A and B are shown apart, each in its own frame.
Chain A
């Protein structure tokens, strides 16, 4: 497709005819048109003024709790709507007026300005290099290598202190990522409501959002919830497809998983009773409840950690032990082996 035309020497290209002749506007030639344009600009400016008056009036006079019905919008707050449209009009019409003014009444002859070349002249460039060399020589940068090197060390290090000063932004994570509040014997309680749960409270097909029970005097923080949230699901025991160990962590068809997604930590609470799948609404990782929350779709790489269940002496559901693996998203120190 590359043509040989541009390699020929005597090819005449089309020539630049130069700037076309100026076309006069109606407002340039017809005084009446110009006057009309002036009136239009003035009217637009006045519309803006009306908008401002409307804005202020609606601020003062419209009850901020009043709602009005408008098609498309629905029941809308009257004051918010009036303030907004008033403000919009007051601004918009200033702009339209100014542009209309510029287009119709200001001179519209196109102007040609020459560009300057950015490149300095060769002498200037040479002078510049010579000056830099001379000045640098005067400072002795080239000769005094001791200064040069020590300066390098000093400048290289000086940025470290602010970095070190940032150290107290937070504590060290230690083992925090791997731990939750769940311990052997911790009761499962409803979220919200904090009521302990008996197996008989859950029918087949039921779910419950649960948290660990609080000891007396304890308070539940969002940091706890972020690691402790658990989903309790009851299915028919024969539907499980678990190994013996994981099966022993269930109780009569009741199985518990960490609700904190093993991918990026969203709450995986979307349980489809029909398929027995758990779906994360953030990134749509799908977990199969019957197979210990094995990932069957989406970006999550690991099953949701399962919480071992048993009953306490009063017949309430409790954790048989804490989680045996860290809950939530992966991190460098996580040992998945």
Chain B
């Protein structure tokens, strides 16, 4: 498990969220740790704050999540148990807007998050309090810009990720209408959390098979792919030869034939 210390920051409502978040973040991780290690006495005072947060999270959970996931997050016919999924899973699913789902479709889509950062942190704290699981990832701890190796990241990506997310991280089709989403615009902490929690169809990538340092390299490569310039002109969606063929048959041949028609037309 990654010993990170806080939950995600918010890029919305920053003024209000900041202080709350720091507290919330510390507590969330603390809750995961409390199982494994004895709590240092210095943090005793925070325990009560933490339980408040967990309480808040539980209230949000009962209102927004329990109808599918069960009153005690034990899961139901249409939704999995959340016991042991950890704060990271909550932060990923709720922070990217996937949860709560808009409808019971094949797959939860990324959308505008319903809960703000503080609410997400509270939810995460509640779910983390049920059983130990991966903690949320603090963006500040992801020093990918400094420590990542983009070329190594590319190699890891092509071996572990490209088969679903495509060579340029544009996403791809899975079986029966499921799909691997595009990684364009995804935040580093969410990429990290996805790797350690394995949301939806995605498998988990343990820290032993892809080390935390390698994960930073992966993030660096994905960030590079997100800002990859259109070196040779319009990128055509970076999905391979399909769109290239389409362009040739429409624009290319269309223009050539249009010119041929003009060429063979008698001038007036």
Contact = CB atoms under 8 A, between A and B. Distances in A.
Residue among B172, B198, B206, B266 facing the most chain A CB atoms (10 A cut-off)? B206
Contact of B233 (A81, A191, A198, A272): A81
Nearest to B214: A193
A269 B165 CA distance: 12
B205 A206 contact: yes
Contact of A197 (B159, B209, B266): B209
Interface stretch (A55-63, A69-77, A112-120, A124-132): A69-77
Interface residues of B, number: 38
A67 B231 CA distance: 8
B229 interface: yes
A72 B198 contact: no
6 contacts: A74-B229, A74-B234, A76-B229, A77-B231, A192-B152, A206-B198
Interface stretch (A5-13, A236-244, A277-285): A277-285
A182 interface: no
B14 interface: no
Contacts of B234: 72-74
Main SS of the interface on chain A?
mixed
Contact of B164 (A67, A193, A195, A270): A270
Contact of A284 (B160, B175, B232, B235): B175
Interface of B: 152, 155-156, 159-160, 163-164, 172, 174-176, 178, 198, 200-206, 208-211, 214, 229-235, 262-263, 265-268
A22 to B, nearest CB: 10
Contacts of B204: 203, 205-207, 273
Nearest to A103: B267
Interface string A185-196: 000001111010
B235 A198 contact: no
Using C-beta atoms within 8 Å of the partner chain, give the interface range for chain A.
35 or more
Nearest to B134: A203
Contacts of A195: 208-209
A297 B176 CA distance: 10
Contact of A104 (B201, B263, B267): B267
A281 B201 contact: no
A113 to B, nearest CB: 18
The 7 lowest CB-CB distance pairs between A and B, nearest first, are A201-B208, A75-B229, A74-B230, A208-B209, A206-B204, A207-B203, A103-B267
Given A74-B229, A281-B172, A284-B175, A205 B203 contact: yes
Contacts of B178: 272, 274
Contacts of A134: none
B62 to A, nearest CB: 26
Given A25-B266, A201-B206, A269-B163, 7 more contacts: A190-B209, A193-B209, A197-B208, A202-B209, A205-B203, A208-B209, A281-B172
B175 A279 contact: yes
Contacts of B265: 103
B208 A198 contact: yes
Nearest to A72: B234
Nearest to A229: B159
Contacts of B263: 99, 103
Contacts of A279: 174-175
Contacts of A77: 229, 231-232
A201 B209 contact: yes
B248 to A, nearest CB: 16
Given A108-B266, A197-B209, A205-B203, A272 B156 contact: no
